[in-house]
């Protein structure tokens, strides 16, 4: 009968517990992104493995381990709908790392677990590349390397202090080579391989639909949407409208982006021409605004630009829709940097086709009857389009409307309920109600969602646009003027547009991160610390995460290595020098260390002094004979030589008073050199 293998065959119990602790450290951040049952399974496997080693339980049979592996595949596929990709693949790797503990019986199995830990650390970069991630994984690297050292050490386990010190030393020795490779290794444009379809950050930020509460919910978030560095004087706050999705379809409650048949179909299907919906045309005037945007990933196609972007200065792989929205041809899954040029003064679509006009006037017939009646009453008074716009804005300014994050719930006819009953709402309420009023009066209108404003980072000199800066406004088409931006929020809460959200809401409604008054000393310190930390993150993004081919050539050109040939030569020299240094250090460590002999050092120093005086020591001459000969030839040195020889012989051959003998030697040497 085959003997069962117990769980404590190879690693000592203390070493196994350290391995489990390091494994927990490596997978811990992943468990916060996964369903709770995955963390429970990995924790249960680790606890079982520790108890099995302590109590000498047998390892599970082969058929049970195969069953566990199949169950893991089935469970991951059920939870994610797939077993590959960023999220599902990482979850499967974490579970398999836990299952590997059930068959860890030999040194090879331990090394496989260590290798899997190294690989699992790499997967963290699929989710985050922030500075804290690098520091955390650096600590994990030291821990995993310490376990690797311990697993290769024969005999009794080393102490944690020793293995951690050796692990830190090995990681530290690798850092210079890593930095050299980072700076000198030729960068290739684009990734070496395609990322999985679900790679990148989770979807966040504004959407291509808008209904009551959508924008106000974003106000609670202090996440960064993008950062802007103006390459010149920044425009004033009331002109910083960052154009995003344009919403022209309304079902009575929700606004949404166009469907096929409008310009989006043409953008996502290049080469298709829909004559009924001609591309937008713009006449730009005045001084341009040039700026550089660093956008956080949001898993959508849109890019944000100030009204109105220059079509001839678009970022690579970007285009403009028929609504003059800047779009990327690929989903923004990773942090993206691009430059753009915009003109605050413009005329957009001075001419409009009947198809565009009908698209911008559509309304459901069975919704919001009081709003429709009010708009038709204005038109019946003989007001033209511009006067209708002014009448609607006057309504918001003169009537008791309130700008609030906590509006009452609206019924089926939400615009009627807002305009005539509650009169309390956020920017999406005002933009929606104004646009419906315009369409009901026959004025072409649409909703634009994006961001407005941005906060200056005093340390870095750039502007930070957060999710809390999300905003919605309207555009109306006026004959001879084209599409004109009209922000009804400015009629109700002008401080929102002129000075920011924190000046427009009641203090009780402001999230903590937006409060600027009544701060305690600690809160004020934290605010300044957050500003400085954001600048550090921007520098990290530009010089580490964004260190592309262009930046590499820019940096290396400053030190005379701008050519590929020079770069390769420098890389070869650095690697050769580094490996040579490692070799020298290894030889030095392997050299047999000779014990230090203070008496011999002092004796040799004395003989060198006498040799310069013409009295060298013969190789076959002992210390006493040498001292006697020197005394015969130079009688004045006889007392010092007698003391020197006596102290040296006592120190080298008796050693009963090493300190006293060393002092006596030093005194005799001083007498000789006096």
Task: Report CA 141 to chain centroid distance, whole Å.
Answer: 19
Among 263, 385, 469, 487, the one annotated catalytic: 487
- What gap in Å lies between CA 470 and CA 217, rounded to an integer? 10
CA distance 308 to 342: 5
Residue 303: count of CB within 10 angstroms of its CB? 25
Q: How far apart are CA 646 and CA 624, in angstroms?
A: 8
Q: Is 153 a catalytic residue?
A: no
441 close to 371: Cβ distance less than 8 angstroms? no
Strands (E) across 404-511 are located at 424-425, 445-452, 455-457, 462-466, 470-478, 482-486
Distance CA 213, CA 217 (A): 6
| Catalytic residue of the set 416, 471, 534, 541 | 471
As a 3-state breakdown, the chain gives helix, strand, coil percent values, each rounded to 5, of 55, 15, 35
Containing 564, the helix (H) or strand (E) segment is helix 564-590
- The answer to whether 306 touches 346, Cβ cutoff 8 Å, is no
H or E, element range at 348: strand 345-348
Whether 427 sits among the annotated catalytic residues: the reply is yes
Beta strands at 470-478 and 482-486: parallel, antiparallel or unpaired: antiparallel
Q: How many CA atoms lie within 13 A of 121 on its CB side?
A: 22
Report whether 435 contacts 474 (CB < 8 A). Answer: yes
Cβ 470 vs Cβ 304: under 8 Å? no
Is 30 considered catalytic here? Answer: no
Question: What 3-state class would DSSP assign to 163?
Answer: helix
Which one of the listed residues 117, 427, 469, 534 is annotated catalytic? 427
Report DSSP letters for 499-556, one per residue. Answer: T-GGGTS-GGGS-GGG--SS--HHHHHHHHHHHHHHHHHHHHIIIIIT--HHHHHHHH
**Which helix (H) or strand (E) is 283 found in, with range?**
strand 282-285
User: Do β-strands 402-403 and 424-425 pair in parallel, antiparallel, or remain unpaired?
Assistant: parallel
The dihedral through the CA atoms of 320, 325, 330, 334 has a sign that is positive
Number of H helices, E strands in the chain: 23, 19
The catalytic residues are 427, 471, 487
């Amino acid at each position: 009968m085959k003997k069962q293998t117990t769980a404590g065959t190879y690693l000592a119990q203390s070493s196994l517990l350290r391995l489990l602790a390091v494994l927990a450290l490596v997978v811990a951040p992943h468990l916060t992104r996964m369903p709770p049952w995955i963390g429970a399974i990995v924790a249960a496997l680790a606890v079982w493995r520790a108890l099995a080693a302590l109590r000498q339980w047998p390892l599970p049979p082969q058929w049970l381990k195969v069953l566990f592996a199949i169950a893991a595949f089935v469970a991951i596929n059920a939870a994610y709908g797939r077993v590959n990709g960023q999220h599902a693949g990482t979850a499967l790797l974490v579970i398999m790392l836990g299952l590997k503990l059930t068959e860890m019986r030999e040194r090879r199995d331990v090394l496989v677990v260590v290798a899997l830990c190294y690989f699992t650390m790499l997967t963290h970069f699929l989710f985050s590349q922030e500075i804290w991630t690098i520091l955390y994984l650096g600590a994990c690297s030291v821990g995993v390397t310490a376990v690797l050292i311990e697993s290769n050490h024969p005999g009794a386990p080393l102490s944690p202090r020793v293995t951690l010190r050796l692990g830190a030393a090995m990681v530290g020795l690798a850092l210079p080579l890593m930095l050299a490779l980072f700076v000198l290794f030729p960068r290739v444009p684009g990734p070496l391989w395609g990322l999985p379809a679900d790679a990148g950050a989770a979807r966040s930020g504004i959407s291509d639909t808008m209904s009551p509460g959508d924008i106000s919910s974003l106000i609670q978030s202090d996440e960064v949407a993008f950062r802007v560095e103006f390459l010149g004087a920044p425009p004033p706050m009331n002109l910083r409208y960052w154009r995003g999705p344009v919403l022209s379809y309304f079902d009575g409650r929700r606004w949404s982006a166009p469907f096929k048949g409008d310009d989006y179909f043409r953008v996502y299907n290049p080469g298709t021409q829909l004559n009924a919906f001609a591309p937008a045309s713009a006449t730009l005037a005045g001084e341009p605004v040039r700026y550089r945007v660093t956008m956080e990933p949001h898993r959508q196609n849109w890019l944000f630009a100030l009204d109105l972007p220059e079509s001839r200065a678009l970022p690579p792989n970007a285009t403009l829709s028929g609504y003059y929205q800047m779009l990327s041809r690929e989903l923004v899954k990773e942090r993206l940097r691009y430059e753009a040029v915009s003109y605050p003064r413009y005329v957009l679509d001075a001419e409009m086709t009947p198809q565009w006009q009908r698209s911008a006037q559509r309304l459901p017939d069975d919704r919001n009857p009081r709003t429709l009646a009010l708009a038709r009453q204005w038109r019946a008074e003989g007001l033209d389009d511009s006067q209708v716009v002014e009448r609607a804005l006057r309504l918001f300014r003169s009537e008791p409307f309130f700008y609030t994050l906590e509006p009452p719930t609206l019924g089926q006819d939400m615009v009627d309920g807002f305009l005539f009953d509650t009169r309390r709402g956020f920017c999406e309420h005002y933009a929606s109600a104004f646009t419906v009023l315009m369409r009901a009066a026959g004025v072409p209108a649409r909703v634009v969602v994006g961001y407005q404003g941005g906060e200056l980072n005093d340390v870095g000199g750039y502007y930070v646009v957060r999710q809390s800066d999300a905003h919605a406004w309207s555009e109306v088409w006026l004959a001879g003027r084209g599409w004109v931006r009209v922000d009804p929020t400015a009629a109700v809460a002008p401080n929102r547009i002129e000075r920011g959200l924190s000046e427009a809401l009641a203090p009780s409604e402001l999230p903590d991160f937006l409060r600027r008054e009544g701060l305690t000393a600690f809160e004020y310190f934290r605010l300044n610390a957050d500003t400085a930390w954001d600048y550090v993150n921007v520098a990290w993004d530009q010089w580490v995460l964004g260190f592309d081919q262009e930046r590499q050539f820019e940096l290396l050109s400053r030190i005379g290595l701008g050519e590929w040939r020079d770069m390769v030569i420098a890389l070869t020299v650095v690697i050769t020098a580094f490996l040579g240094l490692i070799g020298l250090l290894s030889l030095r460590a392997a050299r047999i260390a000779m014990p230090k002999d203070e008496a011999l050092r002092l004796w040799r120093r004395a003989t060198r002094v006498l040799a310069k005086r013409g009295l060298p020591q013969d190789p076959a001459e002992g210390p006493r004979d040498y001292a006697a000969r020197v005394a015969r030839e130079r009688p004045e040195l006889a007392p010092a030589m007698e003391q020197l020889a006596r102290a040296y012989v006592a120190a080298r051959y008796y050693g009963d008073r090493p300190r006293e003998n060393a002092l006596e030697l030093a005194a005799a040497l001083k007498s000789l050199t006096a």
